[in-house]
Structure 1
Amino acid sequence: MITDEDRERVRAATDLVQLVQETVPLQPRGQEFWGCCPFHGEKTPSFHIIPSTQVWHCFGCGEGGDVFSYVMKRENLSFPESIRYLADRAGIEIHDTQDGRQRGTKRSRLIDVCEETAAFYHTMLMRGKDARPRTYFASRGMGGAVCRTYRLGFAPGRGALVSHLSSHGFTPQEMVDANVAMRRSNGGLADRFFDRVMFPIFDEQGRCIAFGGRIMGQGEPKYLNTAETPLFHKKRNLYGFNWAKEHIVAQAEAIVVEGYTDAIACWEAGIGNVVATLGTALTEHHVKTLTRFAKRIVYLFDGDAAGQKAAERAIQFIERDSMDLRCVVLPDGQDPMEFISAHGGDALRERISAAEPLMDFVFRKLEDRSDISTPGGRTKALQDACRLIYPLRRSYMIDSYYIQIADRLGLDLDAVRSAAGRVFRDVQREEEVSSRRERERAAARERVEASRGGSAGWRETMRGSSNAPRRGASPAPDFVDGADEVDVPVDYVPADAYDDATAAQSARQQAATMPVLTDLERRSIAGERELLSLLTSYPDVFRPFAERITEIDWVDPRHEAIAWAVLATPEGTEPVQVMDAARAVCPEAAQLVSAGTIAVTSSHPTEVNIGFLLDTLELYTVRRRLRASQAKLRQDRSLAAEDRRALTIQATKDAARVHELERAVEGVADPFRLLDGEGASES
Structure 2
Amino acid sequence: MISDEEKDQVRAASDLVAIVQETVELKPRGHEFWGCCPFHGEKTPSFHIIPATQVWHCFGCGEGGDVFTYIMKRENLSFPESIRYLADRAGIELHDTGDRRERGTKRARIYDLCAETAQFYHTMLMRGKDGRPREYFASRGMGGDVCRRYCLGFAPGRNALVSHLSQAGFTPQEMIDANVAVSRGRGQLADRFYDRVMFPIFDEQGHNIAFGGRIMGDGQPKYLNTAETSVFHKKRNLYGFNWAKEFIVAQDTAIVVEGYTDCIACWEAGIKNVVATLGTALTEHHVKTLTRFAKRIVYMFDGDAAGQKAARRAIQFIEQDSMDLRCVVLPDGNDPMEFITAHGGEELQARIDAAEPLMDFVYRSLQESSDITTPGGRAKALEDALTLIYPLRDSYMIDTYFIQIADLLGLDLETVRASSGRVFRDVAKREDAERRREQNYERQRAQAERSGSAGGRASGSRDAGRGAWASGVTPPVSAPVEEEPYDYVPLDAYGAAPVEVVDDLPPIDVPDGMGAVPAADGLGAPAAAAPMVLTDLERKSLAGERELLTMLTSYPDLFRTYADRICSIEWVDPRHESIAWAVLATPPGTDPAACMDAARSVCPEAATLVSAGRISATSKHPTETNIVFMLDTLELYTIKRRMRAAQAKLRQDRSLDDEARRALTVQAAQDSQRQRELQKSIGGVADPFRLIGLEAAGTEQA
Shorter chain as denominator, the TM-score bin is: 0.5 to 0.7
Provide the rounded CA distance (Å) in 2 between the counterparts of 1:232 and 1:25: 22
Residue of structure 2 in register with 1:149 after alignment: 149
Deviations 1:36-86, CA, capped at 9 Å, x for gaps? 989789xxxx99996x9765799xxx99852224315643x4xxx452541
Contact 1:118 1:200 survives alignment (8 Å): yes
Contact 1:24 1:36 survives alignment (8 Å): no
Provide the rounded CA distance (Å) in 1 between the counterparts of 2:73 and 2:238: 18
Residue of structure 2 in register with 1:660 after alignment: none
CA distance change for structure 1 residues 459 and 143 in 2, over 3 Å: closer, same or farther?
closer
CA distance change for structure 1 residues 290 and 13 in 2, over 3 Å: closer, same or farther?
same
Provide the rounded CA distance (Å) in 2 between the counterparts of 1:290 and 1:425: 32
Q: Measure how far apart 1:491 and its partner are.
A: 12
CA distance change for structure 1 residues 239 and 410 in 2, over 3 Å: closer, same or farther?
same
CA RMSD of aligned residues (A): 4.2
| Matching residue within 429, 453, 470 for 1:464 | 453
Q: Measure how far apart 1:114 and its partner are.
A: 0.2
Provide the rounded CA distance (Å) in 2 between the counterparts of 1:330 and 1:438: 31
Residue of structure 2 in register with 1:193 after alignment: 193
Which letter does structure 1 place at the counterpart of 2:82? Answer: L
TM-score normalised by length of structure 2 = 0.57
Residue of structure 2 in register with 1:378 after alignment: 378
CA distance change for structure 1 residues 341 and 429 in 2, over 3 Å: closer, same or farther?
closer
- Structure 2: any 5+ residue segments left out of the alignment? 24-31, 88-93, 480-702
Q: Measure how far apart 1:467 and its partner are.
A: 5.2
Deviations 1:235-294, CA, capped at 9 Å, x for gaps? 111000000111111111111000001011111111111100001101111111111111
CA distance change for structure 1 residues 419 and 65 in 2, over 3 Å: closer, same or farther?
same
Residue of structure 1 in register with 2:256 after alignment: 256
User: Alignment partner of 2:239: what SS?
Assistant: coil
User: How does 1:173-572 map onto structure 2 within 5 Å?
Assistant: 173-431=173-431, 441=440, 459-461=449-451, 463-466=452-455, 478=464
Which letter does structure 1 place at the counterpart of 2:417? Answer: R
Deviations 1:474-507, CA, capped at 9 Å, x for gaps? 97673799967976999999xxxxxxxxxxxxxx
Provide the rounded CA distance (Å) in 2 between the counterparts of 1:233 and 1:465: 26
CA distance change for structure 1 residues 13 and 165 in 2, over 3 Å: closer, same or farther?
farther
Residue of structure 1 in register with 2:79 after alignment: 83
Deviations 1:408-462, CA, capped at 9 Å, x for gaps? 11111121111112222333344456667778x59x96xx99xxxxx88x7453x
CA distance change for structure 1 residues 107 and 57 in 2, over 3 Å: closer, same or farther?
closer
CA distance change for structure 1 residues 220 and 144 in 2, over 3 Å: closer, same or farther?
same
Which letter does structure 1 place at the counterpart of 2:287? Answer: V
CA distance change for structure 1 residues 16 and 404 in 2, over 3 Å: closer, same or farther?
farther
Which letter does structure 2 place at the counterpart of 1:140? Answer: R
Which letter does structure 2 place at the counterpart of 1:220? Answer: Q
CA distance change for structure 1 residues 370 and 22 in 2, over 3 Å: closer, same or farther?
same
Q: Measure how far apart 1:396 and its partner are.
A: 1.4
Q: Measure how far apart 1:372 and its partner are.
A: 1.0
Contact 1:10 1:83 survives alignment (8 Å): no
Provide the rounded CA distance (Å) in 2 between the counterparts of 1:208 and 1:387: 39
User: Alignment partner of 1:242: what SS?
Assistant: helix
Deviations 1:198-219, CA, capped at 9 Å, x for gaps? 1000011111000011112222
Which letter does structure 2 place at the counterpart of 1:364? Answer: R
User: Alignment partner of 1:325: what SS?
Assistant: strand
Which letter does structure 1 place at the counterpart of 2:329? Answer: V
User: Alignment partner of 1:313: what SS?
Assistant: helix
Provide the rounded CA distance (Å) in 1 between the counterparts of 2:172 and 2:97: 23
Provide the rounded CA distance (Å) in 2 between the counterparts of 1:53 and 1:155: 51
Contact 2:213 2:223 survives alignment (8 Å): yes
Deviations 1:135-192, CA, capped at 9 Å, x for gaps? 2212211122211111111111112111111111011111111111122245322111
Provide the rounded CA distance (Å) in 1 between the counterparts of 2:168 and 2:103: 21
Identity among equivalent positions (%) equals 65
User: Alignment partner of 1:224: what SS?
Assistant: strand
CA distance change for structure 1 residues 300 and 19 in 2, over 3 Å: closer, same or farther?
farther
Provide the rounded CA distance (Å) in 1 between the counterparts of 2:252 and 2:143: 31
Bigger relative contact order (CA 8 A; separation at least 6): 1
Contact 1:14 1:86 survives alignment (8 Å): no
Deviations 1:601-623, CA, capped at 9 Å, x for gaps? xxxxxxxxxxxxxxxxxxxxxxx
Provide the rounded CA distance (Å) in 1 between the counterparts of 2:3 and 2:468: 35
Provide the rounded CA distance (Å) in 1 between the counterparts of 2:6 and 2:283: 31
Contact 2:449 2:455 survives alignment (8 Å): no
Contact 1:265 1:337 survives alignment (8 Å): yes
CA distance change for structure 1 residues 362 and 481 in 2, over 3 Å: closer, same or farther?
farther
Contact 1:237 1:286 survives alignment (8 Å): yes
Q: Measure how far apart 1:369 and its partner are.
A: 1.2
Provide the rounded CA distance (Å) in 2 between the counterparts of 1:207 and 1:357: 34
User: Alignment partner of 1:271: what SS?
Assistant: coil
CA distance change for structure 1 residues 277 and 165 in 2, over 3 Å: closer, same or farther?
same
Residue of structure 1 in register with 2:123 after alignment: 123
Provide the rounded CA distance (Å) in 1 between the counterparts of 2:269 and 2:105: 40
User: Alignment partner of 1:14: what SS?
Assistant: helix
Contact 1:258 1:277 survives alignment (8 Å): yes
Which letter does structure 2 place at the counterpart of 1:105? Answer: T
Contact 2:182 2:190 survives alignment (8 Å): yes
| Larger-gyration structure (1/2) | 2
Contact 1:202 1:239 survives alignment (8 Å): yes
TM-score normalised by length of structure 1 = 0.58
CA distance change for structure 1 residues 10 and 195 in 2, over 3 Å: closer, same or farther?
farther
